[in-house]
Structure 1
Amino acid sequence: MSLIAAATLMVMGSGPIEVVASPAPSMDVGYEELVAGNDLAALAAIENSDLANDDPARLINHGIALARLGQEDAARAKFAEAAALRDRYRLETAGGQWVDSRVLARRGLAMVDGQDFKDYAALASR
């Protein structure tokens, strides 16, 4: 079989090509509010979100908002839940880094224990 015929078969066999006009809307659960320092609004946005309750970005942002509001035990529970999730995700932080969701959850736990959350938003996930 010639190289051109093989390439043609590969392209034909790959199935239809889907063109996406615009990306799906982003799920910035409480992100904007956390970055702005409006923890009560962030808490409301997170708790009223359509995301699943076990979504790691939701759990982590929820933990951040709770910690910054002084609710350390509730924050610790959210971070522990995110750290224990079976599935791992790469989440974009407020600082623009892509970090494993379990790593972010463990950082959140350490920060709650060290009381390092006042005015902190860089851990917030998009």
Structure 2
Amino acid sequence: MSFAVAAALLVMGSGPIEVVSNAEPSYNIGYEELVAGDPAGALEVLEAQSGADAQDPARLINHGVALARLCQHEAARERFQQAARLDDRYRLETADGSWVDSRVLARRGLAMIDKGRTTGFASLASR
């Protein structure tokens, strides 16, 4: 068997390959504002947008974070619950650089609200 045939078989046997050219969303999800300590600015950015991005778990989680940091806990709970219920799940990079499943991140936000925590929400911010 020639090297070219062996290489072709190896590539074909590895399954479909997906190339992602831009993993960044094409809209602002308030990450920079949250990391800068400006939840009101993040909320302004997030609430000015609408459309297909409304079901983006990173956007919903960041919206929940902004609301929680502004002590709007019931509204934050709604955003975290929406993110936790989405059929699609993603691994999101958080503000501390770790990669976490979007549903897990949303449940962490809910747990923080349930425990009455008023700080630490910034670590949930995702990009």
TM-score, structure 2 normalization: 0.79
For structure 2, the residue ranges without an aligned partner over 5 or more in a row are 13-18
Give runs of aligned pairs for residues 45-124 of structure 1, distance below 5 A.
45-49=45-49, 52-118=53-119, 120-124=121-125
Which structure is larger by alpha-carbon Rg, 1 or 2?
Answer: 1
Tell me how far apart the structure 2 counterparts of residues 72 and 45 of structure 1 sit (CA, whole Å): 19
Tell me how far apart the structure 2 counterparts of residues 32 and 54 of structure 1 sit (CA, whole Å): 20
What residue is the counterpart of 2:15 in the other structure? Answer: none
User: Which structure has more helix as a fraction of its residues?
Assistant: 2
CA RMSD of aligned residues (A): 2.5
For structure 1, the residue ranges without an aligned partner over 5 or more in a row are none
Cα deviation for residue 5 of structure 1 reads 4.5
Tell me how far apart the structure 2 counterparts of residues 96 and 58 of structure 1 sit (CA, whole Å): 17
1:43 partnered with 2:5: no
Tell me how far apart the structure 2 counterparts of residues 119 and 37 of structure 1 sit (CA, whole Å): 12
Tell me how far apart the structure 1 counterparts of residues 32 and 86 of structure 2 sit (CA, whole Å): 25
Give the aligned residue type for 2:93. E
User: What fraction of aligned residue pairs are identical, expressed as a percent?
Assistant: 56
The verdict on how the C-alpha distance between 1:115 and 1:40 changes in structure 2, with shifts beyond 3 A counting, is: same
22, 25, 37: which is aligned to 1:24? 22
The verdict on how the C-alpha distance between 1:56 and 1:36 changes in structure 2, with shifts beyond 3 A counting, is: same
